[in-house]
Amino acid sequence: MPLRKFVTAINCMDGRVQEPVIAYLKNRFQAEFVDMITEPGPIKCLAENDNHHILESIRQKLHISHHTHGSQVVALVGHHDCAGHKVDRETKLGLMEKAEARLREWGFNVDYIRLYVNDAWQVEEIA
């Protein structure tokens, strides 16, 4: 797999999930850097289209990561014990599909992956 200097994660602001996600993405894609776009519970916002300002902020940051940094991979991240999106794992995984669909509507030519950080703070890639 060729070296990808930048990859992008749309992740919760929760500090417990930052390092595991960064380490996973650097290893998985042999990336040097991970652009981290954070919000409390971004899955909820993206899936439910419930805050135009946050959606636009995410879109603008993704534009910079893709067009300026050359990121070709975007990870959509959900996690256990999220204060900003208090739902069970299965509900969150279902909403991640809707959140990814919203991202795809924005038309960025990137590969999307879904990640879930479990209760042991391990990253799982969701098919």
pTM of the model: 0.92
Classify 110 as helix, strand or coil.
coil
Q: What integer pLDDT is reported at residue 83 of this predicted model?
A: 87
Q: What integer pLDDT is reported at residue 84 of this predicted model?
A: 84
pLDDT digits (tens, 9 = 90+) for 77-100: 999 998 888 888 999 999 999 999
pLDDT digits (tens, 9 = 90+) for 103-122: 999 999 999 999 999 999 99
- The DSSP output letter for 120 is T
- Which residues constitute the domain of residue 19? 4-126
- Domain tally for the chain? 1
What CATH number is attached to the domain comprising 117? 3.40.1050.10
d(CA 51, CA 80): 22
